[in-house]
């Protein structure tokens, strides 16, 4: 197919993970709507809702206040990250018996490339995936949905098809039957915003996307157009990457006037700390390095970085570090044109497993 060697990819996705762990640990919660998330008073959002709560329309990333309005009988619980990390490690140990090529997407989700293991053992990916699913259930007491396919895109679609407790093998022929009818949102990289712009031009399904004129596609998606056209045909060359590349998360602003006032600078930095912390939590990342960037009125750029003692996603910690860095970065009283805050050097879900670090 498409000049690529054949691969065997498995996608393992724990069902309603945080909520399921809570129901596992507290039998009184089983069969009841459970929401794991932040307090509505602190403008918290839903991390995970149990399937009982999803029936009321509760979804991940929804403000907790709205979730409780939809489902007043739900039990709201604060996340116990350490417990989820521990179970995640248990799952990871099972996965590692099959391959080292594991790409954790989040604490509850991972891709495995078992191509070499299939060659080595003569067992099929389907047999291994079934065994993984059974072992995860036996060893953790929790269900996972598992998809098997020749690439990541199809493996993820497969694990999604029969959630919860699903097991779906999707070969190219099956994918070819299913893909054209699926909503465009199912394609990797199509978020809510892109979905909306596609809907506006009458593109609702992956089949619609396939029929789109090439020129229009590239006007809408630029360099991504070609990849998207391939994905729409079920072709995905992305490798399973045991480590994701390091990125940074940041925010910056250019002032309408040059600012000398320390309090105004500190206030701006404080606002960035909130924003950056939100985004870290959203991506379930912890950052080790904090960097403050300053551009003076004369366009001199200055940066100061600090590596924290323990990785964090807390605004207070970021703010404290950033304010000190700001003091160091800006020589007294010089007018500032732009300031920014960035964090990097992330601890990823994959590292939690490896290092066994507490949050």
Between residues 73 and 244, which has the closer beta carbon with respect to Mg ion?
Answer: 244
d(CA 281, CA 269): 18
Site for Mg ion in 102-141 (CB under 5 A): 108
Between residues 164 and 183, which has the closer beta carbon with respect to Mg ion?
Answer: 164
DSSP string across 296-343: ETT--EEEEEEEEEEEE--HHHHHHHHHHHHHHHS-TT--EEEEEEEE
Question: Minimum CB separation from Mg ion for residue 159, in Å?
Answer: 9
Q: What is the largest CA-CA distance in the chain?
A: 70
Is 172 among the residues known to form the active site? no
Residue 115 near residue 136 (C-beta atoms within 8 A): no
Between residues 159 and 312, which has the closer beta carbon with respect to Mg ion?
Answer: 159
Question: Minimum CB separation from Mg ion for residue 110, in Å?
Answer: 10
Mapping DSSP to helix (H, G, I), strand (E, B) and coil, where does residue 258 land?
strand
Q: Using CB under 5 A as the criterion, what x/- string covers residues 89-108 for binding Mg ion?
A: -------------------x
Which letter does DSSP use for residue 27 in this model? G
> For Mg ion, how many residues bind (rule: CB under 5 A)?
3
Under the binding rule (CB under 5 A), the answer on residue 20 touching Mg ion is no
Beta-carbon contacts of residue 130 (< 8 Å; ≥ 6 apart): 146, 167
Beta-carbon count within 10 A of 276 CB: 24
The span of 6-14, 150-158, 216-224, 310-318 binding Mg ion (CB under 5 A) equals 6-14
Under the binding rule (CB under 5 A), the answer on residue 13 touching Mg ion is yes
Question: Six-digit token pair at 326?
Answer: 């700001």
> Which position among 109, 181, 226, 275 bears the catalytic label?
109
The span of 9-17, 95-103, 234-242, 244-252 binding Mg ion (CB under 5 A) equals 9-17
* Chain residues in the site for Mg ion (CB under 5 A): 13-14, 108
- Catalytic amino acids? 109
């Amino acid at each position: 197919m498409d000049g690529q060697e054949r691969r065997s990819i498995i996608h393992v996705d724990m069902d309603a993970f945080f909520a399921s762990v809570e129901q596992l640990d507290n039998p009184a919660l089983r069969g009841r709507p459970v929401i794991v998330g932040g307090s509505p008073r602190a403008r918290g959002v839903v991390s995970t809702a149990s399937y009982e709560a999803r029936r009321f329309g509760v979804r991940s990333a929804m403000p907790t206040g709205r979730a409780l309005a939809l489902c007043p009988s739900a039990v709201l619980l604060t996340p116990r990250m350490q417990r989820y990390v521990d179970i995640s490690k248990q799952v990871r140990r099972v996965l590692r018996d099959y391959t080292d090529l594991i790409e954790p997407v989040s604490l509850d989700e991972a891709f495995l490339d078992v191509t070499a293991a299939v060659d080595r053992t003569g067992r099929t990916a389907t047999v291994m995936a079934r065994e993984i699913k059974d072992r995860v259930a036996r060893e953790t007491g929790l269900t996972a949905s598992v998809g098997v396919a020749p690439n990541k895109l199809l493996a993820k679609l497969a694990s999604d098809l029969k959630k919860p407790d699903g097991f779906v093998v999707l070969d190219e022929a099956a994918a070819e039957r299913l893909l054209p009818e699926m909503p465009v949102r199912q394609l990797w990289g199509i978020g809510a915003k892109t979905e909306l712009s596609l809907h506006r031009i009458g593109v609702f399904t992956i089949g619609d996307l396939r029929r789109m004129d090439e020129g229009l596609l590239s006007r809408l998606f630029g360099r991504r157009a070609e990849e998207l056209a391939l994905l729409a045909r079920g072709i995905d060359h992305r490798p399973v990457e045991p480590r994701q590349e390091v990125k940074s998360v940041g925010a910056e602003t250019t002032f309408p006037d040059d600012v000398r006032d320390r309090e105004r600078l500190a206030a701006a930095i404080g606002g960035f700390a909130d924003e950056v912390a939100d985004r870290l939590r959203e991506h379930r990342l912890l950052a080790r390095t904090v960097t403050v960037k300053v551009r003076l009125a004369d366009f001199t750029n200055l940066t100061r970085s600090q590596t924290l003692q323990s990785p964090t996603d807390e605004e207070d910690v970021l703010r404290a570090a950033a304010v000190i860095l700001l003091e160091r970065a800006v020589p007294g009283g010089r007018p500032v044109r732009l300031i920014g805050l960035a964090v990097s050097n992330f601890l990823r879900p994959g590292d939690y497993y490896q290092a066994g670090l507490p949050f």
